[in-house]
């Protein structure tokens, strides 16, 4: 192909691979080409999501002035993916809902959405959940895999009252979940290898995103509360005699382990081990987080959380980066399990939202309406705070 340079009045040759690259850039600037949405709440999660991309595309140029989201576009496997993050310093259900709504308006062909990041684990005798493990929201009894609960309405001696359940993820995601779970059981997963390969290519991420020393995975007995006025971290301020004894994982165990079940979501941070255990016993909750319940009930979303703490008072940020990476690596494996044409068969989310009630984000009865409003517009605490 020859291009005429009007200044030099002579032809210049454009190599074939340059023309192909220019053509691909034109395609990738088309918002209709993106079918998968990926929502990250905090910077750590956003970094992990970007690190897992197989290919990064140019930033979008078609956004309206009203769209304040920050986007990263790219490809995972055969899927074109839009990654968005919440504004810095904003957490909880309301911010997540606003980010998701803007994403759908700007990328109208999105058909599935993953909310991927970190969460607080709920360890129990039934579920050996440890730091770095991954919890995936799995629906049951015809309801979604995320329950919204009212953090402030627990009455001593009585059960927590859930304010609703999110709707089920689309069929293509639930089918892929089952297939990937079976594959992992037969062949095992390569999540650690995936993360290590990324850290080898991007050494600047090693400091904050590699697996921490296992000695820092400390699960305290539920009645032990970290001193409010303590200036030292848990390994210096809380006695080892108060730790829960757990056997080390062997080569026969998956590490990290993938757990499938119910995730609890609220607008406030769970840092009460006794309340954590109560909800676990009552509803078999595996994880707590702060954003998923902000998405509309008719929003087909799957929630994937890497475990960075135990939803108690002994919080720190040591495991956040690695937990974000394990969740993102699982999400990538899941997308690679799905054929693009199966995604295309799902309804566009923007159309699903139009068909539903924009102002209803969970299923709740009239009796629960006051609880819902109080939760959504209550004070939002700092997300995943750090113990002194």
Span 311-359, pLDDT tens digits: 886 677 899 999 999 999 999 999 999 999 999 999 999 888 887 654 4
Beta strand segments in the chain, E: 2-5, 10-13, 36-40, 55-56, 70-76, 79-85, 112-121, 134-137, 146-149, 162-165, 258-265, 285-289, 301-309
> Quick one: pLDDT at residue 92?
63
Average confidence score pLDDT of the chain: 79
Question: Is the predicted pLDDT of residue 290 greater than 60, yes or no?
Answer: yes
Which of the pair, 213 or 143, is modelled with greater confidence? Answer: 213
Percent above pLDDT 90 for the chain? 43
Structurally, how many domains does the chain consist of?
Answer: 1
Q: Is residue 387 part of a domain?
A: no
Containing structural domain, residue 312: 33-376
Q: Let me know if residue 326 belongs to a domain.
A: yes
* Contact between residue 334 and residue 66 where contact means Cβ atoms under 8 Å apart: no
Residue 42 forms part of a structural domain: yes
Structure tokens at 267: 């607008």
Reported as a single tens digit per residue, the pLDDT across 240-270 is 555 666 788 888 888 999 999 999 987 777 7
**pLDDT tens string 11-30:** 445 566 555 544 445 455 68
Residue 180 lies in a domain: yes
- Residue of higher predicted confidence among 273 and 335: 335
Domain membership of residue 5 (yes or no) is no
The SS3 assignment for 227 reads: coil
Assigned domain for 256 exists: yes
Residues 6+ apart with CB under 8 A from 241: none
Q: In the block, which residue shows the tokens 């199966």?
A: 342
pLDDT above 90 for 235: no
For residue 342, give the CATH number of its domain.
3.40.50.1580
- Separation of alpha carbons 111 and 230, rounded Å: 48
Residue 33 has pLDDT above 70, yes or no: yes
Under DSSP, the state recorded for 247 is P
Q: How far apart are CA 264 and CA 280, in angstroms?
A: 10
Domain assignment of residue 109, yes or no: yes
In order, the DSSP letters of 258-282 are EEEEEEEE-SS----HHHHHHHHHH
Count Cβ atoms below 10 Å from residue 235 Cβ, excluding itself: 12
Q: Tens of pLDDT along 78-96? A: 999 999 998 886 766 678 8
- Residue 9 domain-assigned (yes or no): no
């Amino acid at each position: 192909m020859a291009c005429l340079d009007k200044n030099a009045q002579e032809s210049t040759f454009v190599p074939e691979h340059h023309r192909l690259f220019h053509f691909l850039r034109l395609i990738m600037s088309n918002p209709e080409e993106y079918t998968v949405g990926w929502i990250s709440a905090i910077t750590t999660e956003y970094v992990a999501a970007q690190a897992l991309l197989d290919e990064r595309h140019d930033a979008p140029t078609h956004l309206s002035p009203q769209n304040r989201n920050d986007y990263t576009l790219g490809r995972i496997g055969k899927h074109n993916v839009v990654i968005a993050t919440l504004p810095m310093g904003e957490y909880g259900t309301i911010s997540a809902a606003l980010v998701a709504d803007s994403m759908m308006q700007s990328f109208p062909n999105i058909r599935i959405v993953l909310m991927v990041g970190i969460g607080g684990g709920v360890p129990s005798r039934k579920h050996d959940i440890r730091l770095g493990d991954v919890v995936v929201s799995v629906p049951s009894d015809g309801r979604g895999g995320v329950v919204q609960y009212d953090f402030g309405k627990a009455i001593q001696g009585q059960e927590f009252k859930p304010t609703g359940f999110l709707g089920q993820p689309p069929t293509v995601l639930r089918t892929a979940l089952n297939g990937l779970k079976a594959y992992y059981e037969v062949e095992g997963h390569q999540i650690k290898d995936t993360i290590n390969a990324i850290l080898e290519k991007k050494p600047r991420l090693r400091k904050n995103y590699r697996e921490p020393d296992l000695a820092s995975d400390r699960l305290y007995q539920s009645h032990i509360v970290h001193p409010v006025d303590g200036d030292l971290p848990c390994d210096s301020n809380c006695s080892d005699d108060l730790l829960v004894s757990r056997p080390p994982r062997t080569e026969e165990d998956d590490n990290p382990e993938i757990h499938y079940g119910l995730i609890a979501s609220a607008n406030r941070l769970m840092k009460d081990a006794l309340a954590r255990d109560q909800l676990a016993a009552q509803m078999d909750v595996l994880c707590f987080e702060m954003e998923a319940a902000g998405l509309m009930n008719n929003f087909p979303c799957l929630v994937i959380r890497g475990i960075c703490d135990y939803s108690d008072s002994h919080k720190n940020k040591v495991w956040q980066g690695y937990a974000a990476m394990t969740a993102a690596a699982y999400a990538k494996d899941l997308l690679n399990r799905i054929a693009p044409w199966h995604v295309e068969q799902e309804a566009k989310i923007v159309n699903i939202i139009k068909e539903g009630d924009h102002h209803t984000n969970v299923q709740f009865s009239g009796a629960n309406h006051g609880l819902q409003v109080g939760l959504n517009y209550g004070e939002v605490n700092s997300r995943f705070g750090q113990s002194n």
